[in-house]
Amino acid sequence: MAKPRSSRPPARKWSSSTMILTMLIIFTFLALILLGLGIFYIPSSDVGNSPKPNDLTSIAHNIVDRSHADENREKLWVEVISWEPRASIYHNFLSAEECEYLINLAKPHMRKSTVVDSKTGKTGDKHGEGLQVLHYEVGQKYEPHHDYFKDEFNTKNGGQRMATVLMYLSDVEEGGETVFPSAKGNTSAVPWWNELSECGKGGLSVKPKMGDALLFWSMNPDATLDPSSLHGGCPVIRGNKWSSTKWMRVHEYKIKQPS
């Protein structure tokens, strides 16, 4: 009896060129996926000219055009001084007249500064997160601390403190620097290093200058808290220090009106 013939077509053999082309397409597809996920990247040709992270010798300077403003006012320019924490100085943010106005406005109401109570949320100021004006005399300082909260009570109103604007309302002859002891980078590379006090050389420091404003972030871009934002005020050695602080919250901070 004759065997039936098989109807299955003969198996095709791939040529080597077809296999190479197929593998190349698969490899290209995988590479695009990895690039999209950020697992690896293609280095830029100008990497050598890019500033290194936390390299304080490559501080960025930007000048804001104030041609339509008061001609007698100094130019506002911005200096990025750190990435950990993220910090910038807005030079000539306030005029001398504005600094003097804030000082005179605050003088009749000055009292000992207090910290926020983690249980009651009270700061000793009925206006809560309003503009705070501080005055330091010789020998006075502010111990290193974080502006963000580690408890839930103080974040119920307005959420977490995400950034701080510290405005310098006066020059200080010696001392009084704002110091970030946990900042990352070669802190001794800042141009004003030789002008700092011993306390100021204990980290990344900013020397007070009338009209300047220091902006630093207490939170990272991913909304996590930034421990490197630890900061303090060095003791005033000569002169007086006047400053004003404004904390920025994640959400609207509702000020309770006195009953």
pLDDT in the model for residue 115: 45
Q: Coil, strand, or helix at residue 183?
A: coil
**Would 197 be classed as within a structural domain?**
yes
Top-ranked range on mean pLDDT: pick from 19-28, 81-90, 115-124: 81-90
The DSSP secondary-structure symbol of 218 reads S
pLDDT in the model for residue 51: 53
**Would 137 be classed as within a structural domain?**
yes
**Would 42 be classed as within a structural domain?**
no
Among 172, 198, 211, 11, residue whose Cα is nearest residue 91: 211
Q: How many C-beta atoms lie closer than 10 Å to residue 189's C-beta?
A: 13
Comparing 23-27, 94-98, 147-151, which segment has the lowest mean pLDDT? 23-27
**Average pLDDT, stretch 154-180?**
93
**Would 17 be classed as within a structural domain?**
no
Sign of the torsion angle spanned by Cα atoms 92, 93, 97, 99: negative
Rounded to an integer, what distance in angstroms lies between the CA atom of residue 64 and that of residue 92? 11
Instruction: Find the CATH number of the domain harbouring 213.
Output: 2.60.120.620
Instruction: Between 137 and 155, name the one with better pLDDT.
Output: 137
**Would 177 be classed as within a structural domain?**
yes
pLDDT at 128 over 50: no
Q: Coil, strand, or helix at residue 254?
A: coil
Is the distance from CB of 219 to CB of 162 less than 8 angstroms?
Answer: yes
Residue given tokens 């002859």 in the structure block: 173
Average pLDDT over the chain, rounded to whole?
Answer: 79
**Would 35 be classed as within a structural domain?**
no
**Average pLDDT, stretch 181-187?**
92
Percent of the chain with pLDDT over 70: 67
Comparing 49-53, 75-79, 247-251, which segment has the lowest mean pLDDT? 49-53
CA angle (243 as vertex; 240, 246 as ends), nearest 5:
170
Domain with 219 in it = 63-249
pLDDT in the model for residue 131: 85
**Average pLDDT, stretch 227-249?**
96
The pTM of this model reads 0.69
pLDDT at 157 over 80: yes
**Would 45 be classed as within a structural domain?**
no
**Would 29 be classed as within a structural domain?**
no
Question: Sorting pLDDT into bands at 50, 70 and 90, what band is 155?
Answer: confident
pLDDT at 41 over 60: no
Is the distance from CB of 241 to CB of 170 less than 8 angstroms?
Answer: yes
pLDDT at 223 over 50: yes
pLDDT at 210 over 80: yes
Residue 140 neighbours by CB under 8 Å, 6+ apart = 235, 236, 241
pLDDT at 117 over 70: no
- 11 alpha-carbon distance from chain centroid: 65
The domain tally of the chain equals 1
